[in-house]
């Protein structure tokens, strides 16, 4: 046993993060992860900054670290969740014909002047000049850029439409009062799609397709999202919907028909609307976090940049556009906000940074003497062979100076969907492992084969 634990201990030099010979399945050692835990903290934040549950939990769990007002470092587990979420979004965007590209953050001022947004966005835009005095803004969205890009395609035919172009990039907005961690920051990740169609009818079809893909996305994440009628704001256009996650700390006020006939952001309503225009039922109020926003733009931007396609009669015609945003980093925080308890993080299973936490016996315990750690490692190897997609989803809580109970408590707070423990049962024949399904809130006692069967249902993007 000493030899085995010896192998878990960091080697003196070199690559110690992963355990096991190169090429084999390897779990990550919790003690080596760069995830500064502060789980006992009462939630000390910046002085006077308004706070919320997700922000507090993410700071305590070593998921984010402040880097400046409204700017955060995304620590390793958060980046894993972010990359998984992007993977799921990519699947949904490809399913509606989305083509992924990447546009620069530096957006030339003259392009934004042409659309009128250089003035309209006022202090919300981060602005700068290059060494030659040429002006830029850091793109908060890219309607101008993508329209210019499509306009540069000098022989675009109606046969090539619809075009649905999207990117997932860092966006910038100089928020007057950044707050709530990743929910309202000044530098954030956004998925923005732009559609180009031959007609208003076709553009509305694109619009409906993308809205349907957003619904599917939130369904896959297990998030209770509502699409509400919304104002078009500085983006413009004539039709718009917000995708809202109901939450107390949400900054938007919504009015919802209990039968689902009507849903709107109150900012779109005139006067005191209290009953549903379709069924007359009394509307209920809710607060929401905006996680997505769609706009039917018409030719607002294509007319500025002269983004045309050639019709069957070979005549140039302005493309009909739509744009569609998803707050990628905001979805991460909003998920934690709505799924977690006061002191325990819960992730949408599909995008949890790690699916599994393994807890070996305490150093010097009876279970350790009975080779509990070795049995846990065997279980992991068998699992990694049977379910290779889970091989890199496992963390080993190697802090064996702590009791199993203390580490289970930490695992509960950190929100791994499954926690596998070499507890008392490992001394039985055959050994029995304790498995916590944290999202279901239940514990199961299973043999090695039972654990593998249970975990075979776990999905990763």
Interface residues for a second copy in 109-148 (CB under 8 A)?
123, 126-128, 130-131, 134, 136, 138, 145, 148
Nearest approach in angstroms of CB 452 to a second copy is: 23
Query: Is there binding between residue 68 and a second copy (CB under 8 A)?
Result: yes
Closest-CA residue to 171 (of 222, 106, 94):
106
Task: List the one residue from 4, 44, 71, 440 that touches a second copy (CB under 8 A).
Answer: 71
Query: Is there binding between residue 100 and a second copy (CB under 8 A)?
Result: yes
Secondary structure class of 372 (helix, strand, coil): helix
Query: Is there binding between residue 99 and a second copy (CB under 8 A)?
Result: yes
For a second copy, the closer CB: 95 or 266 = 95
For a second copy, the closer CB: 82 or 375 = 82
Omega into 162 within 30° of 0, i.e. cis? Answer: yes
Output 253-262 pairs: Cβ under 8 A, ≥24 positions apart: 253/285, 253/286, 253/287, 253/288, 254/226, 254/228, 254/285, 254/286, 254/287, 254/288, 255/283, 255/284, 255/285, 255/286, 256/226, 256/228, 256/283, 256/284, 256/285, 256/286, 257/281, 257/283, 258/282, 258/284
Contact region with a second copy (CB under 8 A), list: 65-73, 112-120, 222-230, 371-379: 65-73
Nearest approach in angstroms of CB 341 to a second copy is: 26
Nearest approach in angstroms of CB 48 to a second copy is: 15
Query: Is there binding between residue 67 and a second copy (CB under 8 A)?
Result: yes
Nearest approach in angstroms of CB 94 to a second copy is: 8
- Phi and psi at 293, nearest 5°, equal -150, 130
Binding residues among 342-401 for a second copy as defined by CB under 8 A: none
Query: Is there binding between residue 33 and a second copy (CB under 8 A)?
Result: yes
Q: Which two tokens stand for residue 416?
A: 């791994």
Give the CA radius of gyration of the chain: 26
Q: How far is CA 134 from CA 118, 142, 148, in A?
A: 14, 19, 18
Contacts of 453 (CB under 8 A, 6+ apart): none
CA distance 137 to 149: 17
Query: Is there binding between residue 200 and a second copy (CB under 8 A)?
Result: no
Q: Which helix (H) or strand (E) holds 287?
A: strand 284-298
For a second copy, the closer CB: 391 or 432 = 391
Task: List the one residue from 4, 34, 428, 459 that touches a second copy (CB under 8 A).
Answer: 34
Nearest approach in angstroms of CB 89 to a second copy is: 13
Nearest approach in angstroms of CB 227 to a second copy is: 20
Binding residues among 277-316 for a second copy as defined by CB under 8 A: none
For 249-362, where are the alpha helices, taking DSSP H only? Answer: 302-305, 328-339
Nearest approach in angstroms of CB 325 to a second copy is: 19
Binding residues among 152-191 for a second copy as defined by CB under 8 A: 152-153, 155, 159-160, 162-165, 169-170, 172, 174, 176, 186-187
């Amino acid at each position: 046993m000493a030899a085995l634990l010896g192998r878990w201990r960091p080697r003196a030099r070199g690559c110690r993060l992963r355990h096991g010979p190169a090429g084999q399945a390897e779990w990550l050692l919790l003690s080596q992860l760069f995830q500064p835990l502060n789980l006992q903290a009462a939630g000390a934040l910046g002085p006077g900054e308004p706070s919320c549950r997700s922000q507090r939990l993410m700071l305590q769990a070593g998921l984010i670290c402040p880097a400046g007002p409204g700017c955060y470092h995304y620590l390793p587990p958060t980046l894993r969740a972010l990359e998984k979420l992007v993977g799921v979004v990519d699947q949904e965007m490809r399913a509606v014909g989305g083509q992924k590209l990447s546009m620069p953050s530096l957006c030339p001022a003259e392009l934004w002047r042409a659309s009128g947004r250089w003035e309209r966005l006022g202090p919300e835009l981060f602005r700068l000049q290059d060494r030659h005095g040429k002006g830029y803004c850091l793109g908060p969205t890219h309607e101008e850029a993508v329209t210019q890009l499509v306009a540069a395609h000098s022989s675009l035919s109606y046969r090539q439409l619809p075009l649905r172009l999207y990117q997932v990039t860092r966006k910038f907005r100089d928020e007057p009062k950044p707050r709530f961690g990743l929910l309202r920051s000044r530098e954030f990740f956004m998925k923005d799609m732009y559609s180009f169609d031959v007609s208003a009818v076709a553009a509305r079809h694109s619009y409906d397709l993308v809205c349907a893909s957003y619904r599917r996305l939130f369904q896959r994440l297990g998030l209770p999202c509502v699409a509400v009628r919304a104002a078009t704001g500085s983006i413009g256009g004539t039709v718009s919907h917000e995708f809202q996650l109901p939450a107390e700390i949400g900054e938007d006020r919504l009015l919802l028909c209990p039968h689902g006939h009507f849903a709107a952001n109150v900012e779109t309503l005139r006067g005191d609307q209290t009953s549903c225009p379709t069924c007359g039922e009394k509307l209920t109020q809710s607060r929401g976090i905006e996680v997505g926003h769609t706009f039917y733009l018409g030719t607002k931007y294509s007319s500025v940049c002269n983004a045309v396609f050639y019709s069957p009669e070979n005549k140039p015609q302005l493309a009909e556009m739509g744009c569609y945003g998803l707050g990628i980093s905001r979805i991460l925080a909003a998920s934690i906000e709505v799924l977690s308890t006061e002191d325990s993080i819960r992730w949408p299973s599909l995008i949890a940074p790690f699916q599994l936490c393994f807890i070996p016996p305490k150093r010097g315990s009876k279970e350790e003497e009975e080779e509990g750690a070795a049995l846990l490692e065997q279980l992991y190897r068998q699992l990694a062979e049977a379910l290779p997609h889970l091989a890199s989803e496992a963390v080993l809580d190697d802090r064996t100076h702590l009791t199993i109970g203390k580490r289970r408590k930490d695992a509960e707070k950190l929100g791994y969907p499954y926690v596998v423990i070499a507890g008392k049962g490992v001394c039985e024949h055959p050994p029995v492992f304790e498995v916590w399904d944290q999202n279901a809130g239940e514990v199961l006692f299973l043999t090695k084969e039972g654990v593998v069967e249970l975990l075979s249902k776990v999905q990763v993007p």
